[in-house]
Amino acid sequence: MQSSHFDLVPARDWETWSTEHDAVIIDVREPAEWARGVLPGSELITLETLPEHMNDLDKDRAILFVCRTGNRSGVAARYFAMNGFTKAANLTGGLVDLGMA
């Protein structure tokens, strides 16, 4: 079994962390939520469909998972970490902490 360790990135630090780690930003919300606002440069892959997209992502590249409050993105980050993604991260506090939700 792989490690379930993943980084916790405070919402206010998302841009700095993403830039420093050359991260892919994956938003795991539903399309209706996505339509209300997104982080620049993020890609929508709903939590439900995330497992089928796992092979499309680089295991060695940093991935910042994002959602409304940080709960679903935490599930995603843990799941990816347990499946060999060594640079998975969760945006803690989610878009709510950024005043976007």
> In this structure, what CATH number is given to the domain that contains residue 72?
3.40.250.10
Q: Which of 67, 77, 81, 91 is catalytic?
A: 67
Q: Per the domain annotation, does 19 fall within a domain?
A: yes
**Is residue 63 helix, strand or coil?**
strand
Q: Per the domain annotation, does 57 fall within a domain?
A: yes
In the numeric block, which tokens belong to residue 4? 């379930």
| pTM of the predicted model as reported, rounded to 2 decimal places | 0.95
Q: Per the domain annotation, does 61 fall within a domain?
A: yes
As for how many domains the chain has, the answer is 1
Q: Give per-residue pLDDT as tens, 22-71.
A: 999 999 999 999 999 999 999 999 999 999 999 999 999 999 999 999 99
Band (9; pLDDT cuts 50, 70, 90): very high
Domain of residue 90: give its range: 7-97
Catalytic residue list contains 67: yes
Q: Per the domain annotation, does 1 fall within a domain?
A: no
